[in-house]
Amino acid sequence: MLNIKNNILLLKKKPINIKNKVKTIIKDIKIYGEFALLYYIKFIDGIDIKSIKELIINRKTMKSSYNKISNKKKKILKEIYLRLKRYHFHNYVNSWQINNNIDIIYGQKINNIEKICIYVPGGNTIYPSSIYMNCIPSLIYRPNFICMVSPIKNGVISNTILSISYLNKINKIIFSGGVHTLSCVVFGTRNIIKVDKLTGPGNYYITKAKKIFFGSVGIDMLAGPSELIILCDGFIHPNVISYDFFSQLEHDINASCCLFTNNKKYLNLLYTKIYKLLLFQKNKKIIFKSLKNSILLFNKINNLLEIINFLAPEHLMICIKNSNKVVKKIKNCGAIFISYKTTETYGDYVIGPSHVIPTNSTSKYFSSLNIYDFCKKIGIIKIYNNKYCKILSSFFSKIEKFFSHSFSSIIRK
């Protein structure tokens, strides 16, 4: 347990001068706009362009890419789209208004957030699942404009990526990543529209930048490396859980995966299995590095649950008989996967809840990306008999010494 915390702390301590770098980039973009952007694209990304327009793709191009892909692929892409959207639609709430028949009509108007930017981390490839998982929750309240920002190093953008962006109603893609591009989206430049909200995970630089942007735009959360805790009583074949370890640990070298069990034998069994099977994994280099963040822990279930609620992990897999009882006791956690058949992979890709989930114990107060991140609630008040309001208001205004408050209610007949 301590080990996890230490790892997280170490990770936090490493990038000392990152903050200053990020600040400089943001400042430059704020002052020099696209000139600075082109400069940074050249010197950070190594791409020499004359205008940012060269890296922007609009819906027309996406549509023509979508028309090029096979019908079979279209079917798969649509199926995923519909499955994810169905989940989020269950959370839909509408504006409401109520007349209390005594003195007040009040309510809540729910408006979309108009302009949204999703950040999709990339590099050698772009993660299509991240496009879905960022966009779908936003689509329920129909934003006016979605911009996707994503770095691409090889310069090759597949039709699949463009088709998925088309399906997810993205209006513009900027194929350039990093703090420099995000800053343009936050402050607006000649060719890049200023947005209202920014979502999606990124590396340390991006996360630092998001914290600085907070307040200039809305942001979803400050996410760090991925985490998984598997709570297991040992009735599942260790091969299966080993693969859950590998699939979690191959995300990146900072990812972590832990087994919490009340079965000591199982713990030993899994330990040997993991090292045996590790050699056959294609991403074994990454897994080997991230394995250092892993812990196998043995204790009573109730104690383990207490630790889980303290740690508030991003993902929690519960492979236990009587899982319902356990789920009720979970207080802090990003997403829960129940039973033998539910691998975290499904949650990453196709089921419903967004895979943009709070990490690093922040699920104590952040939620995974959901439709409420893309709307705002406006209180509405209309009074038709203000007798009682006058009395109550004057009570407060006396204590607070806001005397004109009282008069502004008294003067109304």
Considering the rule CB under 8 A, would residue 155 count as an interface residue with its own copies? no
Considering the rule CB under 8 A, would residue 197 count as an interface residue with its own copies? yes
Residue 374 DSSP label: G
Considering the rule CB under 8 A, would residue 215 count as an interface residue with its own copies? yes
Long-range contacts of 336-340 (CB under 8 A, 24+ apart): 340/236, 340/240
Retrieve residue 115's tokens.
Answer: 């302009």
DSSP E strands, 242-393: 256-261, 295-298, 315-319, 335-338, 375-383
Distances (CA, A) of 122 to 12, 294, 339: 22, 25, 32
**Residue (7 or 309) nearer to its own copies, CB:** 309
Active site residue 114: no
Active-site residue identified among 88, 227, 314, 344: 314
Determine which residue in the list 61, 160, 171, 263 makes contact with its own copies, applying CB under 8 A. 160
Could you tell me which stretch among 77-85, 225-233, 262-270, 294-302 binds its own copies (CB under 8 A)? 77-85
* 21 Cβ contact partners less than 8 Å away, ≥ 6 residues apart: 205
**Subset of residues 109 to 128 that bind its own copies, contact rule: CB under 8 A:** 109, 111, 113-114, 124-125, 127-128
* 307 Cβ contact partners less than 8 Å away, ≥ 6 residues apart: 1, 260, 297, 299
3-state secondary structure 27-89: HHHHHHCHHHHHHHHHHHHCCCCCCHHHHEEEHHHHHHHHHHCCHHHHHHHHHHHHHHHHHHH
Active site residue 315: yes
**Residue (41 or 170) nearer to its own copies, CB:** 170
251 marked ligand binding residue: yes
Task: Count interface residues toward its own copies (CB under 8 A).
Answer: 112
**Subset of residues 272 to 331 that bind its own copies, contact rule: CB under 8 A:** 281-283, 287, 327, 330-331
348 marked ligand binding residue: yes
Determine which residue in the list 150, 167, 176, 251 makes contact with its own copies, applying CB under 8 A. 251
Least distance to its own copies, CB of residue 39, Å: 27
281 marked ligand binding residue: no
Binding residues: 226, 248, 251, 315, 348, 400, 405
Binding residues for substrate: 226, 248, 251, 315, 348, 400, 405
